[in-house]
Amino acid sequence: MLGLGTVARIAGEIRRDVRAAQERDPAAIGVGTTEIIAAWPGVHAVLAHRIAHALHEASVPVAPRIIAAASRSITGIEIHPAARIGRSFFIDHGMGVVIGETAEIGDNVTLYQGVTLGGTGFASGKRHPTVEDNVTIGSGAKLLGPIRVGHGSKVGANTVVIHDVPANSTVVGNPGHPVRVDGRRPEGPDADWVHLPDPIADAIKALVARIADLEQTVAELSGTRAEPRADVRPLRPVRGPNPAGG
C-alpha cells in the first residue's frame, strides 16, 4: 500500500511535527516525545493527516476519508486528506480548526484553535488559501478563498481574511487589513484599503449621534442642561510581537 520510502518520509515528518510542538508550545517545555504523541490533540490530527494524505496520494479509496473523519471525531480538528501541509506544522489547542481540500500550507506554520482555511462557494478547482512558510494564524481567524498569505506573516485572532496578505506583515480586523508590513505601518496609496469602513463602528456612531440629538431636544424642552456628547473612538492598533494569541 505504502512503500518503505513513503513510510520513512512520514516518520520524519512526524518527528519534525513533535519537535515543533516542543519548541512552540510553552506547555510542552520539558515534556517528552512519548507524552506529546499520547496527549497533544494537534499532534494527533497532523499525524493522522500525514497518513491519510499519503494514502490519498497513492489513490487508495475510502481509507483516507475514514482516517480524517476518525481524527475529526477525536480531536475536533478537520483536515481534508488532499490538503498539502509542509514540515514542522503545529496546531496549538486545535479544537474547531478546519483545513479545506485545496489548502496548501508551507513549513514552520502555527495555527491556533478555531482557525478556518475555507472556501467561498461551490466552484471547483483551487478554492482554499495558500499559506507560505513561517506564518502564525491566531485563534478564530477565518481565511477564505484562494488567497495567499505571504512568508513570515501573522494573522490576528478572529481576523477575517479575504485578500492576499503581503509577506512579513501583521493582519488584523474584519475585514482583515495589515497594520504592520516589514515591521512598519502601511503608508502611501497602496495602504488606502487599510481604511475600509467598519460597519459596526459606523452604526454605533450613528446611534450615539441620534441619542445626543434627542437628549439635546429634551434638554431644550425641559430647560435643563444636556449631557456631553459621547465620543466613539476606534481601537488602537494591536501592539506587541505577536497579536495572534493562543
What's residue 246's pLDDT?
A: 47
**Which of 98, 114, 153 is CA-nearest to residue 131?**
153
In the predicted model, what is the mean pLDDT of residues 228-246? 54
Locate 66 and state its grid cell. Answer: 475514514
pLDDT in tens, 58-68: 999 999 999 99
Q: Does residue 198 register a pLDDT over 60?
A: no
Q: Does residue 231 register a pLDDT over 70?
A: no
* pLDDT > 70 in the chain, percent: 85
Longest dimension (CA), the chain: 89
Q: 110 versus 190: which is more confidently predicted?
A: 110
- Domains in the chain, please, with CATH? 1-82 (no CATH), 89-196+235-246 (2.160.10.10)
Q: 79 versus 120: which is more confidently predicted?
A: 79
Q: 161 versus 29: which is more confidently predicted?
A: 161
What's residue 195's pLDDT?
A: 43
What's residue 199's pLDDT?
A: 62
What's residue 139's pLDDT?
A: 95
3-class state of residue 98 by DSSP: strand
Is 193 within 8 Å of 173 (Cβ atoms)? no
Neighbours of 148 (CB within 10 A): 17
pTM of the model: 0.73
Is 138 within 8 Å of 116 (Cβ atoms)? no
* pLDDT > 90 in the chain, percent: 59
Q: What is the mean pLDDT of the chain?
A: 86
Report the length, in residues, of the chain.
246
What's residue 134's pLDDT?
A: 95
In the predicted model, what is the mean pLDDT of residues 210-237? 76
Most confident of 110-114, 124-128, 174-178: 110-114
Q: Does residue 238 register a pLDDT over 80?
A: no
What's residue 41's pLDDT?
A: 95
| Contact partners, residue 238, CB within 8 Å, separation at least 6 | 156, 170, 172, 179
The type of residue at 102 is T
What's residue 178's pLDDT?
A: 86
Q: Does residue 14 register a pLDDT over 90?
A: no
Q: Binning pLDDT at 50, 70 and 90, where does residue 196 land?
A: very low
62 burial class (0-12, 13-18, 19+ CB within 10 angstroms)? exposed
Q: Does residue 148 register a pLDDT over 70?
A: yes
